[in-house]
Structure 1
Amino acid sequence: MMGAGSRTLLKGLGDLPAMHFGYAAEARIAGIPCRATRVSFVGELGWELRVANTDAPMLFDALRGAGAVPLGHYALDGCRLETGFKHWGHELGPMVTSLEAGLAFTIDWGKDCIGSAALLKQRSEGVRQRLVLMRIVGDALMLHDEPVFEAGRHMGMTTSGGRGPRTGLNLCFAMVETARGETLTQTCARAFIVRVAGQDYPATPLRRAPFDPEGKRMRA
């Protein structure tokens, strides 16, 4: 249940405990016991509600009756793209390190773990590829695995793409080659093109997500 009015709607249907972003608590919505987790995949205030399978239809009907409207899959994906959120299985996976994905802030460098030696080595030497969010100029149908070029040289592939419902921007994530020691700012100063169905489209790397880059809406 996501959106600026989600707190008001849920409280109107029952007992929604106060909680900070990233926390979970037991709740009762429309008389149905559930576990509410305050997270967001779309960059908006919201909760994920976990209920027993048998209770899910009743909860769904109660939310619809209170004015909630289902969000389509492509709109959902477009929202997370314009918020700059990565998706496991597209941007993230066992072949991508946290440094390459721009998630260094999630690493506790003081702890030893499987792969920590490799991460320390990569941090010291610099990444050779980097995940970047790009704005596509034109009406290309962005999905995933479209080739990315720079000055005629193949530099990587897109990992996912779509149009942001709130910004109207055509966006994609792409994993591109980088020089050792190249900063994100330097990568964003480069000029790329993405080839879709045999046609080339200019692709501008974005230093920050185009929608609420500080995440204020989902932490409201």
Structure 2
Amino acid sequence: DAVVAGIACRLVRVSFAGELGWEVHAPMADVPALFDAITGAGAMPFGMYALNSMRIEKGYRAWKGDLSTDYSMFEGGLDRFIKLDKPQDFPGKAALQNEKRQGPKKRFVTLIVDAGDQDAPYMSTIWNGDEVVGETTSGAWGYRIDASIALGVVRTAVSAPGTQLEVEIYGKRYPATVQEDQPLWDPANDRLRV
């Protein structure tokens, strides 16, 4: 709990942009005064396109696009959140244990796409030669890294960093390179720490 400009509120330290960020929770009636106080102190508002660009540079997944029931947790790159050593069962545990033994058939990847000013929209086809090997889950221009980025899911065989693929954007294929499994922007998360 905190007080901002004399208004009681709750500050929650989160960031979907890859920068030091806070959510300010307060009754709706107090929001205009809080907004005026925060922007008056120098904070700059930005829109959803900017937020989408920043979260993709960090590799942060969005619900329903990057995270869905179309992919398992292993395929979605969420391995670090899976605790199979828990003594209690949970729904899907046996299936996840089996998938871990066999290895996932698909992997979540970040791609740098050489597409000029084009960005890969949701569900663009990813190609390896003449074979479809996956689909994008989101894409945007990364202004902090000066590149077109696509997040997607591809067959495990073509998921290694450095793999050269193509992303089809509105009927035309563009070269794309699989990146290391770390954020493209601030991989050490230095900007998120105070």
Task: State the TM-score, normalizing by the size of structure 2.
Answer: 0.92
CA distance in 2, matches of 1:48, 1:57: 15
Q: Which runs of 5+ in 1 are unaligned?
A: 1-25
Identity over aligned residues, as a percent? 36
Q: Secondary structure at the match of 2:37?
A: helix
CA distance in 2, matches of 1:60, 1:41: 19
Higher relative CO (Cα under 8 Å, sequence separation at least 6) belongs to 2
Q: Secondary structure at the match of 1:64?
A: helix
Listed one character per residue, the Cα deviations across residues 157-190 of structure 1 (whole Å, up to 9, x for unaligned) are: 11000011211111010111224xx8x5xx2242
Q: Which runs of 5+ in 2 are unaligned?
A: none
CA distance in 2, matches of 1:154, 1:95: 17
CA distance in 2, matches of 1:214, 1:84: 13
Q: CA RMSD in A?
A: 1.5
Matched residue, 1:12? none
Matched residue, 1:213? 187
Tell me by how many angstroms 1:75 deviates: 1.0
Matched residue, 1:192? 165
Which sits farther off after the overlay, 188-197 or 146-155? 188-197
Question: 111, 116, 128: which is aligned to 2:105?
Answer: 128
Q: Secondary structure at the match of 1:188?
A: coil
Which sits farther off after the overlay, 61-70 or 153-162? 61-70
Matched ranges for 1:139-178 at <5 A = 139=116, 140-178=118-156
CA distance in 1, matches of 2:67, 2:79: 13
Task: State the TM-score, normalizing by the size of structure 1.
Answer: 0.82
Q: Secondary structure at the match of 2:10?
A: strand
Q: Secondary structure at the match of 1:62?
A: helix
CA distance in 1, matches of 2:72, 2:31: 37
* Number of residue pairs aligned between Structure 1 and Structure 2: 190
Matched residue, 1:72? 47
Amino acid at match of 1:88: W
Matched ranges for 1:8-157 at <5 A = 26-111=1-86, 112-139=89-116, 140-157=118-135
CA distance in 1, matches of 2:100, 2:71: 14
Tell me by how many angstroms 1:82 deviates: 0.7
Q: Contact between 1:78 and 1:163, CA under 8 Å: does it hold in 2? A: yes
CA distance in 2, matches of 1:29, 1:165: 31
Q: Contact between 1:131 and 1:175, CA under 8 Å: does it hold in 2? A: yes
CA distance in 1, matches of 2:132, 2:192: 37
